[in-house]
Chains A and B, each alone.
Chain A
Amino acid sequence: MNQGPTILIVDDDEGHAILIRQNLEIAGLNNRIEHFRDGQAILDFFFTRRDLADETYLVLLDIRMPKVDGIEVLRRLKADPEFRKLPVIMLTTTEDSREVERCHQLGCSVYIQKPVDYDRFAEAIRRIGLLVPLLLVPPLGLP
């Protein structure tokens, strides 16, 4: 069965990442899940690895993180022609309306505030997951 896009959790709080992973599993999602501990790690993943073409990804992005924060990660991903269609869900404890507005302007798919209602969250991921193959542009430079 098609397990959908790989979910990349970017969160400096290990507990939050475990909760997200376990609750998505409990809610019945069987996507592959990877955890990145700060914004720099996820940027390194996307901008230094060259074998991304075969996979689809969905990013769950926290905002307040050491090194590079989530808004900067969102900005860099959305400014890149290769990654700008990547679905990004902002998942954060911040409810500042200006922050929400800014993320939407930068092009995040969904903005969700922690703590999360996981059943609805899993449903949102399923729906976005179904769209991912349509959203991703064909990788450049391949025959």
Chain B
Amino acid sequence: MPDRATIEQARPNEAARAQLERNLLATVKELHDVKAALDEHSIVAITDPAGRITYVNDKFCAISQFSREELLGQDHRIINSGTHSPAFFRHLWSTIGRGQVWQGEIRNRAKNGSFYWVETTIYPFLDDAGKPRQYVVIRTDITQRKADVAELHRIAAELDEKNKELEAIVYTVSHDLRSPLVNVQGFGQQLTRACEAIHAAVAAEGGGPVPAERLRQPVDVAIPQALRFINAGVSKMETLLAGLLRYSRLGRVALTIRPLNVNGLLTEILAAMKFQLDETGAEVRVEPLPTCLADHIQTGQVFANLLDNAVKYREPTRPLRIVVRGRIHDGHAVYTVADNGLGIAPEHQAKVFEIFHRLNPDANTGEGLGLTIAQRVLERQQGKIWVETTPGGGSTFSVSLPAIDPPAPSP
């Protein structure tokens, strides 16, 4: 039997133990609550030191689309997206293997092949020897944020592109519009001088008849020349301003993107150009073309412009031959308009798309906007235009537009 003293001693122990138990229960409850709060907010998994999954919460199952049974016992390779390098994971493992916390962004792959981004914290639980005994992995879904950032970059790049375009326009306008103005101003001064010469000749005769000889130069030469350049300068400025307005309106025209039968489109264009083509003895061959997704009117203008250029810049010593071909490449319908005309020297090929640039200003009329507008029109429809030299001479313009059935991106 315990003596009295022992009993006296045990009573406080009982009390302490009861207190301890209450504390323990409270702590467990608190831990439980913290975990519940964590589960409510985060994607949580626990793995053993080898990385095998021993616990996942509901959010993990929801985002990964795997059931708990499919996940337990696996390692995280089951959701590896192949985005990150082996070095990335080596660094991760060496960090947590040393018992340190790892944090970073990881792109994972769900069961159906879709991707999601998670901001990840891996917290090693250490044993008495300081070795990791398990890892607690807490993640937050940042897929939307990643998409937003990517969208932001895309918009910034687009804005940058637009700014460059604007700069190029300002540059061109400052030169090309000033150029006719120089003539208007300069020949205005010549007119003033010619008038002064006439005035002086008239004044010298004091009201009597003025000898025709003294008036001949200003009246026959200086004044008509000045007027010719002034009028040409003014009409050049008018053309440039009209072109600029047309170009600036392009960005505001609403597009109707729908499947476009390009063979049908070319038949329409060639019918409208029949007179022009017959007159030059041109021969146009159109091969079967793929369908694309584009605006009928705007795309029609692009092809009309390309055919018109082929006629304009034909080689006069041989009959013009134009071949239109098409193929599907990388989700895009690529059309080529190849001619046997004058061709474009390689160093000028990039310049032909510049606003108001004209390769042969003397020989041909036009404001130098056709290809600039074609490029703009195609860019608005996720298309492109470029030029190469046709084998054997001439130019080949290529137009790419989204194909009717772009293959789904591979997972």
Contact = CB atoms under 8 A, between A and B. Distances in A.
Contacts of B181: 115
Nearest to B360: A66
Interface residues of B, number: 23
A96 B186 contact: no
B225 to A, nearest CB: 7
A93 B174 contact: yes
B357 to A, nearest CB: 8
Contacts, number: 54
Contacts of A15: 182-183, 186-187, 229, 232-233
Nearest to A23: B186
Nearest to A37: B362
B185 interface: yes
A19 B179 CA distance: 12
A137 to B, nearest CB: 30
Contacts of B225: 18
Q: Is the contact region of chain A dominated by helix, strand, or loop, or is it mixed?
A: loop
A96 B175 CA distance: 9
A93 B183 contact: no
Interface in B382-396: none
B171 interface: yes
B183 A94 contact: no
Contacts of A67: 348, 359
A82 interface: no
Nearest to A94: B175
B358 A66 contact: yes
Contacts of B233: 15
A42 B174 CA distance: 25
Interface string A81-105: 0000000000011111000000000
27 contacts: A13-B179, A15-B182, A15-B187, A15-B229, A15-B233, A16-B186, A18-B229, A19-B182, A19-B183, A19-B187, A23-B186, A26-B193, A64-B176, A67-B348, A93-B175, A93-B178, A93-B179, A93-B182, A94-B171, A94-B175, A96-B171, A96-B174, A114-B182, A115-B181, A115-B182, A115-B185, A115-B186
7 nearest CB pairs, A to B = A15-B183, A19-B186, A93-B178, A15-B229, A114-B182, A115-B182, A93-B175
